[in-house]
Chains A and B, each alone.
Chain A
C-alpha cells in the first residue's frame, strides 16, 4: 500500500526486500533441479526435438526433412494409428479397472490386524517381481490349450479363447495382467484411507448413514485428491506401457498388442529410425500433456480439498 507521500511505506519497502530475498532463496533451493535440468535433461530433450525433424539413424549425421516425419506418420504409417489405438484402448480399460481394484484392495487392507503388513507385502509383491518371471508365468496361464485359465474355464463350462494369440483378445490379456501391478496404486489409497478423520465417520453414523452412504459422502470425497493423483499419474504411465508387451508378444499377434512406446522403441533401436522415433515421442508428449491439462481443469469439479483450496494451486 502506498503511503501518503505516494511512495511505498517503510513496511512495504521492507516487504519488498524480504520478497526479493525470498525469491533468491527460492531459486537457490531449486537450483539442484535447475542445474540438473539444464545439464542433464534439457539438452537431450532439445536434441530429440531436433531429431524429430530429421531422418536419423544414430550412426551418421541427421538429415533435415522438416515436417516429413509427421506427415508420414499421419498419412503413410498405419502402425502409428494402430499403436495409438492399442494404447488408448489399454489406457481406457485399465485405469478405471486398476483404480477400482486398488481402492477395494486398499479398503480391505485398511484394517488393524497384527499381520496385516504381511498381507500388504503380499499384495505389493507382484510389483517387485522381475518382469521376466511374471512374463513367463503369464504365458503359461494364458496358453490356449494347456494354460490354467482355459483349463479352468473348460471345467466350469465357459467358452475359451486363444488369449495372447487372438488379435481380438490379446490387448485384454494385457489389461488383466496389469492387475497384478496395482500394488502401487493400492499403497497410495491405503495411505489416504488411513488419514481420513474418524470423527467424520462417527458423525455420519450418528446421522444414520449406512456403509454405502459413508462411502459416498465421507470416504470418496476425502480420498478424491488421491484418486485424482493416481488418475493423473496412472494415465501418464499407461500411455507409456511397454515392458510386458516387449517381453511377451513383441507387438503381436498381427500388431494387436503393438503399444505406442513399443513401436517407438522398434523404430529407434531396430529400424534405425531415430528421427522418426523422436517425432513419435513428441507426438505422445503432446497427447499426454493435453490429457493431463484436461484432467487438471476437470479436477475443480470433483476433487475436494478439505482445506484451503488455494494452498493447492498448481496441482
Chain B
C-alpha cells in the first residue's frame, strides 16, 4: 500500500530497488493485493455505512412501517413527503440558521483562544505553569452532569440565559481538550524558530501569530472540525439555555419528534439526514485539507 505523499519517495529507480511492501511502501504496479484491499475495505465500508443508509432508507418510509420485518432497505412506496413534512412542522430553517451562528462563532472562538492558551502552556515559562496545566487536564475528568445545574445558575446570575452566550462564550476561553491538543502539537515545533524570531526582535505575541499559527494549520483545522461537530450536535446546552422559540437549534428540533407516547420515526430520520449532511461535507473537505497539509509540511523538513 502506498501512502499519500509527495515525490519524496521517488528517489532513484522505483522499480529496480525493492520497495518495502505493506506498510509505508510505494504501491507496486501490478496489484493483486490492491484488489483484495479494495474488496475488504468496501465490505467493511458497507458495514460502516449501514447506520447512515438505514437512516436514509427509513426517512422515506410510511409512518407505522418503519420497522416492518423483514427490514426493507428500499421502501415501497418512497415517501419524499417526509422531508417536506418533517422540515416544515417545525421552523427548521430558523433552527439551521441559529445552529450555524452558534457553530461558527464557537469554532472561531475555540481556534483562536485555544491556540493562544496552548502557546502559553507550551512555549512560555512561569512557575505555576505545570500545576495549572494539571488543573486543566483535571477539568476533563469530572462528568459534567453534576455541574449542569450550578453552571446554569451561574449563567442565570449573569443574565445570559435565553441567549446564545452560554453556548458560545465558553469556547472563547480555550476548552481544556483543545488546549491540551494544540499544546502537544506546539511542543514539536523546534524552539529554534522562536529564538531566531526573537533575535530578529519579534515579541511573544508576534511569534504566536506569525509563526505558530501558520505552522499549526492541521491541528487548528482539527480543533475547528471538532468544535463545529460538537456545537452542531449539542443538545443539552440549547435545551437548558434557550427557551425563546426563535432561538432554538436543530438538535432541539430533532428531539421534538420523540413524544411521550411514541415517535414520528420517518420524519425524525429525514431531518437527521438533512442535519447530518453539512457535517459530512465539512469533514470530507476538511479532511483532505489537513491531512494533505500535514504530510506536505512534515515531509518538507526532511
Contact = CB atoms under 8 A, between A and B. Distances in A.
B116 A29 contact: yes
Nearest to A19: B125
B23 to A, nearest CB: 5
Nearest to A229: B184
A137 B142 contact: no
Interface stretch (B75-83, B91-99, B241-249, B274-282): B274-282
B163 interface: no
Given A33-B117, A112-B3, A194-B4, A121 B287 contact: yes
Nearest to B208: A29
Given A40-B173, A125-B52, A116 B4 contact: yes
Contacts of A72: none
B84 interface: no
Contacts, number: 279
Interface string A145-181: 0101000000000000000000000000000000010
B143 A284 contact: yes
Interface string A111-136: 11100111111111110111011101
A19 B37 CA distance: 55
B128 to A, nearest CB: 8
Contact of B117 (A32, A140, A201): A32
Contacts of B170: 36, 40
Given A105-B44, A128-B280, A214-B23, A278 B146 contact: yes
The majority secondary structure among interface residues of chain A is helix
A30 interface: yes
B58 to A, nearest CB: 8
Contact of B37 (A108, A121, A129, A277): A108
B145 A261 contact: yes
Contact of A137 (B27, B37, B50): B50
Contacts of A58: 149
B210 interface: no
B51 A137 contact: yes
A215 interface: yes
B9 A109 contact: no
Contacts of A12: none
The majority secondary structure among interface residues of chain B is helix
Contact of B125 (A26, A44, A288): A26
B69 A146 contact: yes
Given A130-B272, A130-B276, A284-B143, A108 B40 contact: yes
Given A123-B48, A198-B9, A22 B142 contact: no
Interface stretch (A75-83, A92-100, A203-211): A203-211
A113 to B, nearest CB: 8
A297 to B, nearest CB: 14
B183 to A, nearest CB: 9
Given A25-B204, A128-B283, A130-B272, A30 B132 contact: yes
A190 B136 contact: no
A126 B48 contact: yes
A136 to B, nearest CB: 7
A3 interface: no
A130 B24 contact: no
B157 to A, nearest CB: 10
B254 A196 contact: no
B137 to A, nearest CB: 8
Given A22-B126, A125-B48, A132-B268, A202 B4 contact: no
Contacts of A299: none
A99 B38 CA distance: 22
Closest 10 CB pairs of A and B: A36-B173, A29-B120, A26-B124, A211-B22, A205-B20, A44-B150, A23-B126, A44-B147, A47-B150, A30-B120
15 contacts: A22-B125, A25-B205, A26-B125, A26-B126, A33-B173, A37-B139, A39-B173, A41-B139, A45-B142, A129-B55, A129-B276, A195-B298, A198-B3, A215-B23, A219-B24
